[in-house]
Amino acid sequence: MHLSTADLIWLNGELVAWEDAKVHVLTHALHYGTSVFEGVRAYETERGPAVFRHQDHLDRLEASARLYYMDLPFPKERLREATHELIARNGLQSCYIRPLVYRGHGPMGLDPEQNPVEAMIAVWEWGAYLGDQGKREGIRAKVSSWRRISSESLIPQAKAGGQYTNSVLAKIESKRGGYDEAILLDDKGHVCEGTAENVFVVRDGQLVTPPPTASILDGISRKSIIEIAGDLGRTVVERDVARAELTLADEVFLVGTGAELVPVREIDDIGLGPPGPITRELQHVYDDALRGREQRYAKWLDFVPVPSQA
Ligand code: PMP
């Protein structure tokens, strides 16, 4: 498998060579999942690379850290500038961006408050997470046998490393079963989300998506799609979604930073047909927004100031 890399990674304030960006094996986060992270993207625009909704991602990173009793070890503005520098110095026009804040090497055990809080940012070229074909033709999804973590034991609103074992189990199960993606129900049996995407169903021209109280991660793509749909004059209702509504829906799609907007063409082996008109329309406007082709959404772009030199 071809793995995309870049020259430099930002690690605790320094730019280091990709292959030198290492941690000690006793890093607390490696043992107990005590990290928080973001998945962000930068896109090539006419004015150079631009990070999509950068501030929203940094705010969510800070919120996730806070929920796990950590202060960001660098101010958000510093992380923002470091990301810009990293993109420019790696000569990238578009990339995936992965900031991670984690409990480092220190005392072992479940009280990590003496362990240092460290930070890294990596950038690399990464195509659509569920594939370009998936974006075009739709994907095959399966409702997972795993339920999405609930707020009775973890924090669905936090993007925390350890919590992602839930997504990893669901993802492996779906892939081994021959599907592209899993859709998880919440602890009450309502539709929750994909392993790294929020879900929308279209019924009778209306968009429906589970509310934040349904144990979803409050996705930034989800928020963008709700705004775009409103601007297009579509009603979006945030309410519980029953499992059967996935297959009764006229259209279903997933949204996330990695995947972007992906139509679902089959759920639990029941075909939904090719991507429908509302999915297509939203996908089109969203793609334009991401790539700076839609002036109305230029407010979401954080341009990398130094033109990158390949
Ligand atoms: N749900 C989960 C569990 C995720 O990991 C992600 C990806 N961050 C999303 C939803 C979508 O969030 P966003 O649109 O902010 O990428």
Q: What is the pLDDT of residues 60-90, one digit of tens each?
A: 999 999 999 999 999 999 999 999 999 999 9
Res. 207 pLDDT band, cuts 50 70 90: very high
Q: How many residues are listed for the chain in this entry?
A: 310
Residue 171 known to be catalytic: no
For ligand 1, say whether the CB of 160 is within 6 Å of any of its atoms: no
Residue 141 shares a structural domain with residue 281: yes
Q: Residue 296: which residues within 8 A CB-CB, separation 6 or more?
A: 231, 289
Do 281 and 192 reside in the same domain of the chain?
A: yes
CB-ligand 1 contact for 217 (6 Å cutoff): yes
Whether 270 is covered by a domain: the verdict is yes
Give the domain range for residue 175: 132-294
Report the run of H or E that residue 171 belongs to, with start and end: helix 165-176
Q: Are residues 137 and 190 in the same domain?
A: yes
Give me the catalytic one of 142, 159, 171, 223: 159
**Tell me, what's the pLDDT at 4?**
87
pLDDT of 307 reads 55
- Regarding whether 178 and 76 lie in a shared domain, the answer is no
pLDDT in tens, 291-300: 999 999 999 9
115 domain residue, yes or no:
yes
Residues 207 and 240 in one domain: yes
- Tally of domains within the chain: 2
Rg over CA atoms, the chain: 19
Dig out the tokens for 256 from the structure: 């996330």
Quick one: average pLDDT of 199-221?
Answer: 96
Asked whether residue 2 is domain-assigned, the answer is no
Same domain, 39 and 162: no
Of 152 and 308, the one with more pLDDT: 152
With the most atoms of ligand 1 within 8 angstroms of its CB, the residue from 150, 167, 198, 222 to mutate is: 198
Element (H, E) at 281: helix 277-290
Residue 293: what are its φ and ψ, rounded to 5°? -95, 0
- Co-location of 147 and 236 in the same domain: yes
Cα(129) to ligand 1 centroid in Å equals: 12
The pLDDT mean for the chain works out to: 96
For 107-132, write each residue's pLDDT tens digit.
999 999 999 999 999 999 999 899 99
The answer as to whether 302 is a domain residue is no
Ligand 1 contacts CB of residue 220 (under 6 A): yes
DSSP 8-state code for residue 94: S
The values of phi and psi at residue 235, to 5°, are -85, 135
Mutate to test the pocket of ligand 1, among 164, 165, 197 (most ligand atoms within 8 A of CB): 197
Q: From the CA of 258, how far away is ligand 1's center (Å)?
A: 8
Same domain, 172 and 93: no
List all residues 6 or more positions away from 214 whose beta carbon is below 8 Å from its beta carbon.
186, 190, 191, 192, 240
| 178 in the same domain as 280 | yes
Q: What whole-number distance in Å separates Cα of residue 235 and Cα of residue 77?
A: 36
176/119 same-domain check: no
Any ligand 1 atom below 6 A from CB of 197: yes
Q: Are residues 112 and 165 in the same domain?
A: no
Q: Residue 241 gets which letter from DSSP?
A: -
Q: 260 CB less than 6 Å from ligand 1?
A: no
- Domain of 184, CATH number, reads 3.20.10.10
The answer on 152 and 23 residing in a single domain is no
pLDDT digits (tens, 9 = 90+) for 234-258: 999 999 999 999 999 999 999 999 9
